[in-house]
Amino acid sequence: DAKTTQPPSMDCAEGRAANLPCNHSTISGNEYVYWYRQIHSQGPQYIIHGLKNNETNEMASLIITEDRKSSTLILPHATLRDTAVYYCIVRVDNNAGNMLTFGGGTRLMVKP
């Protein structure tokens, strides 16, 4: 699976949009981009995933660049409860395996 690079930490003001970047410059055509978050040692929580197109759900939006080498997770109106570690994971969609490989993630601190 392609490696990802994320900033180790970010701050965001409550009520503002949080934009979390992820670099995956070695991504290949059949690899999906997944985002999870982990709130204070709880189980990782699935947020969103995508392949090529931008995606939106009730939690967040995922913007993937046209060359797919980077993506941004957007929390449109961050709340204090969004304080967590956010993980960007790329995973191949073939018979190469089913495991998720977590990196260090971005620790997002939402401040009042």
Partner 1 sequence: EPEVTQTPSHQVTQMGQEVILRCVPISNHLYFYWYRQILGQKVEFLVSFYNNEISEKSEIFDDQFSVERPDGSNFTLKIRSTKLEDSAMYFCASSAEYQETQYFGPGTRLLVL
Residues of the shown chain interacting with partner 1 in the complex, contacts defined by CB under 8 A? 34, 36, 38, 41-46, 49, 87, 91, 93, 97-104
Task: Report in angstroms how near the CB of residue 18 gets to partner 1 at its nearest.
Answer: 21
| 16 or 101: CB nearest partner 1 | 101
- What are phi and psi for residue 21, nearest 5 degrees? -90, 155
Residue entry with tokens 């190469």: 96
* Least distance CB 7 / partner 1 (angstroms): 16
- In 3D space, the residue among 56, 53, 6, 10 whose CA is nearest the CA of residue 32 turns out to be 53
Cβ proximity to partner 1: between 80 and 100 the closer is 100
Task: Give least dist CB 19 to partner 1, A.
Answer: 23
Structure tokens at 85: 């570690």
CA gap 21, 19 in Å, rounded: 6
